[in-house]
Amino acid sequence: MNVESIMSKRLATVGFDDLLTTVKEIFDEASFHHLLVVEDGKLRGVVSDRDLLRAMSPFIGSNVENARDLATLNKRVHQIMSRQPLTLPPEATIADAIALFLANNVSCIPIVTPAFEPVGIVSWRDILRAVGERDGANADLS
């Protein structure tokens, strides 16, 4: 089985100079955990919800929030993104993806064409879901 068969084709992208305010809005409104940073149609990096949490003030949205806290959302995507992310082509196997997850501290793998254009994304959850479905883990276990 290849990663193309389990990847999410619903991609959320941002650009280098987008504000963290935009990133926060996307994460708040959608069920995404990773945004692909795309410039000129090519993958340049990844921003995770954890990257955003590390970059913004923990007081945002609280009753002690102040202007300095809100200013942390004025940073740009390029300041917090992971550059040169590990990628796989659509024809890579699920075993290839598992090997990347195990060898590296990443939570997603962008799937790209030879021209580095993003076509999908695979998370460790996608891997677990595929293995579970293959092994009948969704069957009644009682």
Please name the residues in contact with 117: beta carbons below 8 A apart, sequence gap of 6 or more. 41, 42, 43
User: Any idea which architecture 3-134 has in CATH?
Assistant: Roll (3.10)
What pLDDT digit, counting tens, does each position of 78-91 carry?
A: 999 999 999 999 99
Q: What is the DSSP string of 96-129?
A: HHHHHHHHS--SEEEEE-TT--EEEEEEHHHHHH
97-142 confidence digits (pLDDT tens): 999 999 998 999 999 999 999 999 999 999 998 888 877 655 444 3
- Residue-wise pLDDT tens digits, 11-20: 999 999 999 9
**What is the mean predicted confidence (pLDDT) over 49-75?**
90
pLDDT reported for residue 65: 86
Task: Report d(CA 1, CA 36) in Å as an integer.
Answer: 24
Is the pTM here over 0.95, yes or no?
A: no
In the structure encoding, which two tokens stand for residue 21, read together? 């305010």
